[in-house]
Amino acid sequence: MSGPVDLHSPALLEFWTARHLCTLTTLRKDGSPHVVPVGATLDVPAGLVRVTASRTSAKVRHVLAGSGRVAICQVDGRHWSTIEGEAVVRDDPASIAEAERRYAERYRQPRPNPARVVLEVTITKVLGSISLGGT
């Protein structure tokens, strides 16, 4: 992909701040996809999507095993958007607090989870009817 991803489309920003559940696709060791429902938040200035998770979840294990390429998708009727990127696992208190704050803004206050970590996805590609200017 050439050039930076443009995340500043008003329609894209609105779609990724409205309360929509998402799916996260990670890759297993054998290359097969693992798709699960998640809540995700978009941080345009940082170029990140954040997903909170339990440290023992399959999605976290897949990323820690070296399968950091992920896709996060959300759909609302005929409107959809997929963000692709490279995920890393963050377990420091500041990263977790920021992810929880953003999750609470978009969805609701997350339940306490002492095993919580954050998948931080550096955005490399944006696809969909929303990101392409569709309505």
- Is 48 within the bounds of a domain? yes
Does residue 135 have a pLDDT over 70? no
Q: CB of 28 within 8 A of CB of 62?
A: yes
- Is 44 within the bounds of a domain? yes
How distant, in Å, are the alpha carbons of 2, 38, 71, 101, 130 from that of 50? Answer: 23, 10, 12, 11, 19
- Is 99 within the bounds of a domain? yes
Banded model confidence at residue 95, pLDDT cuts 50, 70, 90:
very high
Q: Is the pTM of this model over 0.85?
A: yes
Does residue 11 have a pLDDT over 70? yes
Q: CB of 84 within 8 A of CB of 71?
A: yes
- Is 3 within the bounds of a domain? no
Range list of H helices, the chain: 10-17, 58-64, 93-106
**What range defines the domain where residue 70 resides?**
10-128
- Is 74 within the bounds of a domain? yes
- Is 19 within the bounds of a domain? yes
- Is 76 within the bounds of a domain? yes
CATH number, domain with residue 39: 2.30.110.10
The pLDDT tens digits of the residues spanning 44-90 come to 999 999 999 999 999 999 999 988 999 999 999 999 999 999 999 99
Counted domains in the chain: 1
